[in-house]
Structure 1
């Protein structure tokens, strides 16, 4: 499936990452997993994904810094869905101000995530 849409998942929780990888690949997406923000930035630059999923709290570079890098350094309008278990209003506002497209609080439903992804990648 060479025309499958590429998604970068930046998530340091390996169990959640593997669950989402299984679920999204089942939907036909090509998924690349980064376990920290630094790895996420490298994968984004290398693969030019159609969508980015990122946790806020990650080692080395935060999800907020990933958003900032994509919007300001790469000047890309790639949709970005952010998730956080922190649920802090200030963090959500910062994510949107930096250019996040959507936000989901952890824990979330993988089925709901798939619906949001399909909506964004129409």
Structure 2
């Protein structure tokens, strides 16, 4: 019996969160949803997920700070996929420099996300 992979999704857009939760749970993953970066860090510390999906621009703590905390404070090598609105190249480069694994520009295809998630969680 395979172990269900846990994913923390940090996204302040509740409609997008629900869509991604539905789509990824249909694939057999367990989604833990954070509405902001502070909540994301709490979920990561509590559940040690197999993958982290985070928006860059969020209330309280940004996705960049979530990446930094995960890599530097928690010393986790958990794969991190970052999303951001198009036209934020500087933020994307910062995300990769902090340790992001992959990047997707918003709006993106949930089907493409599923493929990227599966590839990282083989």
Asked if Structure 1 and Structure 2 have the same fold, meaning a TM-score greater than 0.5 normalized by the shorter chain, the answer is yes
- Cα deviation, residue 87, structure 1: 3.0
- C-alpha distance in 1, partners of 2:71/2:107? 26
Structure 1 residue 117 and structure 2 residue 111: aligned? no
Question: How does 1:91-110 map onto structure 2 within 5 Å?
Answer: 91-110=91-110
Per the normalisation by structure 1, the TM-score is 0.97
Q: List 4+ stretches of structure 1 deviating above 6 A.
A: none
Instruction: Identify the residue that residue 59 of structure 1 maps to in structure 2.
Output: 59
Q: Give the Cα–Cα distance (whole angstroms) in 2 for the partners of residues 31 and 102 of structure 1.
A: 18
2:39 corresponds to = 39
Q: 2-side partners of 1:58 and 1:18: how far apart?
A: 16
Equivalent position SS for 2:70: helix
What CA distance in whole angstroms lies between the structure 2 residues aligned with 1:10 and 1:47?
14
Alignment of 1:17-96 (within 5 A): 17-96=17-96
**Deviation for aligned residue 1:88:** 1.2
TM-score, normalising length from structure 2?
0.97
Structure 1 segments unaligned to the other structure (5+ residues)? none
Q: CA RMSD in A?
A: 1.1
Aligned residues: 122
